[in-house]
Amino acid sequence: MTSDRVCAWCRDPMPVTLRADAVCCSVRCRQARHRFTRGVGRAGAVADGQPLRLAYADPPYPGKSRRYYADHPDYAGEVEHQALIESLTQFDGWALSTSAAALPEVLASCPPGVRVGAWVRGERPARSAGPLNAWEPVIYCGGRAYPSRVDARRVDALVHFSRPRRSDPLRVVGAKPARFCRWIFDLLGAMPGDEFVDVFPGSGGVMRAWEVYASSSADSDA
């Protein structure tokens, strides 16, 4: 039998036999949620002054949309990156993931002042006539400069090997890991109180990470 409560990780109904303070339906979900929460962490301060409107976009990379997402319910063909970037410039800060191969083309549509960060995710098993790709660029612009009283260091590169979240029923190809999400928040100087928009929700993992990051207190992992 199941109750009206839903699991904090997989969103399935919770068995009625679980204790009242349990938030996950199984040990597997509890452990997955704990790993994800630990990977994101929480902000060390709240925003001063005017909250910012921030956005992250992780569209299908140019030329890859049909190959990886043709069966996805939100599939709408190739993404027009110039129009996407124009929409992102309406935010106070934004970040955009793309592929190393597409970087020159995408940069050509970007306004002056953007920067490029590198996610070194490791190589993927494959045979290749040339060097295997082991990184992905993130174009970012604007955001917030942390005040000097905040004890935080931000870097424009992340070295983190990505593994699929197999316990996440909403996972999609290319879903970003928790540690990557935290890196994006740091690049943009995002803090609780800001508005954060995930332009291509996919698995919903980025907004799940934002909820964790912007939370003022840790939830029970019971």
- The domain locations on the chain are 47-214
Own/partner pairs, 34-38, CB within 8 angstroms, 24+ separation:
34/221, 35/178, 36/9, 36/165, 36/178, 36/205, 36/208, 36/209, 36/212, 37/178, 37/212, 37/218, 37/219, 37/221, 38/178
**Three-state DSSP class for residue 201:** coil
Q: What's the pLDDT at 221?
A: 45
Q: What is the pLDDT of residue 70?
A: 58
Write out pLDDT tens, residues 102-116.
999 999 999 999 999
What was the pLDDT predicted at 126? 72
Q: Give 60's Cβ-side CA count (13 Å radius).
A: 20
CA distance linking residue 5 with residue 176, whole number of Å: 27
Residues of the chain with pLDDT under 70: 1-3, 44, 47, 64-77, 146-152, 163-174, 216-222
Contact 147, 125 (CB under 8 A): no
Q: What DSSP assignment string belongs to 39-94?
A: HH---SS---SSPPEEEEE-PPPTT-HHHHHTTSTT--SS--HHHHHHHHTTSSEE
- Please state the separation of Cα 115 from the chain's center in Å: 18
Q: What is the pLDDT of residue 174?
A: 60
- Asked if residues 206 and 56 have their Cβ atoms less than 8 Å apart, the reply is yes
Q: What is the pLDDT of residues 95-152, one digit of tens each?
A: 999 999 999 999 999 999 999 999 998 877 777 777 888 899 999 999 998 655 555 6
Question: What pLDDT does 205 receive?
Answer: 87
The domain over range 47-214 is classified in CATH as 3.40.50.150: yes
For 15, the enclosing helix (H) or strand (E) is: strand 13-15
Amino acid, res. 69? Y
